[in-house]
């Protein structure tokens, strides 16, 4: 009888210690792996300029490049090309720090925009803009991922 009480007491203690350990580890961020956010996907509803557009009411800023600002030389061409690349297609955007070329170099947001690496099919939109000479690689944020021979950099 005494032996049975000892075993049951130890089992309760063991369960308690396991629960407490899990709670402490979870609180410290040790037991739960980082959960990757879902990509932002959908059609582009509005294009602000050559490196900013809107998907599902969420403004997106392409990471790692710099396109001309509205009202400056080349801005309309970059905006038109971005429109051509995305028109009627589903765009997939991965926010910075979720597996982009800009991870660790760029903030996740800029002004009201999510900073992201975006694709149409398998094509990287930022790379297409740089290769078309309508945007510049911004190595401070891209790590040189969009550098092209003879291309511009910021």
Q: For residue range 132-153, list pLDDT tens digits in order.
A: 999 999 999 999 999 998 888 8
Domain residue limits at 59? 40-142
pLDDT in the model for residue 34: 56
Q: Tell me, yes or no, whether 87 and 108 share the same domain.
A: yes
Q: Tell me, yes or no, whether 57 and 99 share the same domain.
A: yes
Number of domains in the chain: 2
81 compared with 25, residue with greater pLDDT: 81
In a domain, 148, yes or no: no
Cα 8 from Cα 134, distance rounded (Å): 73
pLDDT in the model for residue 67: 97
Sorting pLDDT into bands at 50, 70 and 90, what band is 154?
A: confident
Question: What whole-number percentage of the chain has pLDDT above 90?
Answer: 71
Separation of CA 38 from chain center: 9
Q: Tell me, yes or no, whether 44 and 102 share the same domain.
A: yes
Residue 146, Cβ density class (10 Å: 0-12 exposed, 13-18 middle, ≥19 buried) = buried
Q: Tell me, yes or no, whether 25 and 79 share the same domain.
A: no
Residues in the chain: 154
**DSSP string covering 79-137:** HHHHHHHHTTSEEEEEETTSS-TTTTTS-SEETTEEEEEEEETTEEHHHHHHHTTSSEE
Q: Tell me, yes or no, whether 116 and 137 share the same domain.
A: yes
In a domain, 150, yes or no: no
In a domain, 149, yes or no: no
For residue 76, what is the domain's CATH number?
A: 2.40.50.90
Q: Tell me, yes or no, whether 66 and 113 share the same domain.
A: yes
In a domain, 147, yes or no: no
In a domain, 107, yes or no: yes
In a domain, 27, yes or no: yes
pLDDT in the model for residue 58: 98
Q: Is the pLDDT of residue 7 over 90?
A: no
Q: Tell me, yes or no, whether 85 and 17 share the same domain.
A: no
> Per-residue pLDDT tens for 61-112?
999 999 999 999 999 999 999 999 999 999 999 999 999 999 999 999 999 9
Mean pLDDT of 6-12: 53
């Amino acid at each position: 009888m005494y032996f049975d009480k000892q075993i049951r007491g130890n089992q309760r203690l063991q369960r308690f210690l396991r629960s407490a350990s899990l709670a402490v580890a979870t609180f410290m961020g040790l037991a739960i792996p980082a959960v990757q956010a879902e990509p932002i996907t959908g059609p582009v509803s509005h294009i602000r300029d050559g490196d900013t557009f809107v998907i599902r009411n969420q403004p997106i800023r392409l990471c790692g490049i710099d396109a001309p600002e509205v009202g400056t030389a080349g801005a309309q061409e970059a905006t038109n090309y971005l429109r051509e690349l995305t028109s009627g297609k589903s765009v997939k955007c991965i926010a910075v720090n979720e597996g982009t070329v800009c991870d660790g170099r760029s903030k996740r947001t800029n002004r009201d925009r999510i900073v992201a690496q975006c694709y149409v099919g398998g094509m990287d939109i930022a790379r297409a803009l740089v290769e078309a000479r309508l945007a510049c690689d911004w190595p401070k944020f891209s790590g040189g991922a969009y550098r092209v021979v003879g291309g511009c950099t910021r």
